[in-house]
Amino acid sequence: MTTLFLTVYFALFSVLSIFGLHRYFITYLYAKNKGRKPEAAPFESIPENELPFVTVQLPIYNERYVAPRLIEAVSRLEYPKDKLEIQVLDDSTDETTAIVRELVERYQREGFQMVLIHRENRSGYKAGALNEGLSQMRGSLVAVFDADFVPTADFLKKTVPHFIGRPKIGMVQVRWDHLNRDFSLLTQTQSVFLDGHFMLEHTARNRSGRFFNFNGTAGIWQRECIQSSGGWHCDTLTEDLDLSYRAQLAGWQFIFLNDVVSPAELPVDLNAFKTQQHRWAKGSIQTARKLVPVILKSKFPLKVKVEALFHLCANFGYVCMLLVSILMPFSIYLRHHLHWGRLFIVDVPFFLSATFSVTFFYCYSQREIYADWLSRLKYLPFNLALGIGLSVNNSKAVIEALFSQRGEFTRTPKYAVIKKGDLWKGKIYRGRLDFVSFVELALAIHFTIAVLYAFQQKLYLSLPFLMIFQAGYAYTALLSFYQSEKFSHFLPLLRFSPQTTDK
């Protein structure tokens, strides 16, 4: 029985190691191909009569704090007004609709071709709203921005030229930047996650001829690409990932511009962040269920198919991480009790391949983006701990995707919080606390007991492994409780700043 237990334990660690080694491969692909920068004619060299008509879609649902900021930013886009249409796709059920209607009417008086398309129901959620706008739009190109984004004025000038004279280009995606990166430890850690995904993963996949995906926002599509690929589907929670793969399987080409950025607001509420991660994880597995058979039967090269499998199935790593978390303390106890102490040495290569690769991956991405990247390395241990702490939340998403239907599209609350000191607690749209946080707390206690046992038994080699897991689960659990509206009134002495009420 003990042998079977340890076999399962090391098998799970082996799977994690494979995912870890894949990060080294992505980093290699990036380094090999980063010089293959997409080229396009300068915007100023294109005659105005050859510029395509562009529609900008702004899907919004109950975004009273950030919707005005988005609409104002889009109104500053540098593009001929007679060739620019702005659709505010509003599914809101609160005062957001009145706020955006007033803004739309103001910009209409100023000569903008801006329209408000308000739906009385959320049929199809975001995908449904985008399809509604698609059926009414005039542009041959369509850019999409979520409510938390603040596109730069030159966005269209830097993306539209890539479509000129290239009819097979279906979509251009730009890299996300972070408006409130310095707000808190949580936002700093999130920025590291996203920097690695965009700078290394997207660049490596796109420039090496693999598939990559539109991220739901800060990108621009050719209308014909969307329509010929079947339009926006609402049978997964990641309609962007789904359409991206369907379009590329149909032969459309995508471009990623890692030197063009679109700033966005990161979630400051851990419960909201977990909701976002849950949606992304569940949606990616739903998309995998839907499209992996199609990918495997396609005529694309094996290297493209293999990378697509790693991409779409990456969240299975969280399930392995959760199972390893449950088994690790028992494994240490069993090996010590049976005097199999030398087997602790086996943990080292597994741990390094599964976790050091993550640190290397994100360290490399910081170096590629920031001149002061060395000062940002201090966030990497928190990055690793948060990744572990998310394993319960994201494992739940994976299991739901495997055994249930699509589910509700739950958007990520945003509060127009940019700099340190901005208040957000007490505002509406709070992230929800669920049983996941209680499981995280139980695992934090689980590892605390294991740390005490290892210290008592002088198993010092095990302590670093145990403590990083302990920190990850303790952080996600305790911060979730602290930031929860339900529990905040039980913790008046722990509040670091006064709260405002905006209900």
- The lowest-confidence range among 82-96, 256-270, 347-361 is 347-361
Same domain, 28 and 100: no
Same domain, 194 and 98: no
- Residue 106 included in any domain: yes
Examine the residue annotation and report whether 177 is marked as an active-site residue of this protein. Answer: no
Q: Which of 148, 177, 195, 240 is catalytic?
A: 240
Which residue(s) pair with 173 in the sheet?
A: 219, 256
* Residue 428 pLDDT: 77
Task: List b or e across 215-244, with b for residues whose CB sees 16 or more CB atoms inside 10 angstroms.
Answer: bbbbbbbbbebbeebebbbbebbbbbbbbb
Percent of the chain past pLDDT 90, that is, above it, reads: 77
Range of the domain at 396: 1-40+164-220+230-503
What mean pLDDT do residues 408-419 have? Answer: 83
Examine the residue annotation and report whether 240 is marked as an active-site residue of this protein. Answer: yes
Write the CATH number for 105.
3.90.550.10
* Residue 338 pLDDT: 67
- Residue 56 included in any domain: yes
Q: Is the pLDDT of residue 503 over 60?
A: no
Same domain, 185 and 146: no
CB 269 within 8 A of CB 180: no
- Residue 359 included in any domain: yes
Helical packing angle, 185-195 and 380-389, nearest 10°: 90
Same domain, 343 and 441: yes
Residue 171: pLDDT band by 50, 70, 90 thresholds?
very high
Which two three-digit tokens encode residue 40?
Answer: 């396009």
* Residue 341 pLDDT: 52
Query: Counting Cβ atoms within 10 Å, is residue 8 exposed (0-12), middle (13-18) or buried (19+)?
Result: middle
> What whole-number distance in Å separates Cα of residue 201 and Cα of residue 181?
20
Q: How many domains does the chain have?
A: 2
Answering whether pTM is above 0.95, one says no
> What whole-number distance in Å separates Cα of residue 503 and Cα of residue 432?
16
Q: Which of 90, 91, 148, 269 is catalytic?
A: 91
Tens-place pLDDT, residues 224-242: 999 999 999 999 999 999 9
Same domain, 144 and 171: no
What mean pLDDT do residues 405-413 have? Answer: 77
Same domain, 261 and 327: yes
* Residue 14 pLDDT: 86
Q: Is the pLDDT of residue 442 over 60?
A: yes
* Residue 266 pLDDT: 96
Residue 411: pLDDT band by 50, 70, 90 thresholds?
confident
Tens-place pLDDT, residues 333-351: 887 776 655 555 556 666 6
Same domain, 127 and 180: no
- Give the mean pLDDT of the chain: 91
Alpha helices in 298-390 (DSSP H): 302-313, 316-337, 344-351, 357-369, 380-389
- Residue 104 included in any domain: yes
Same domain, 170 and 191: yes
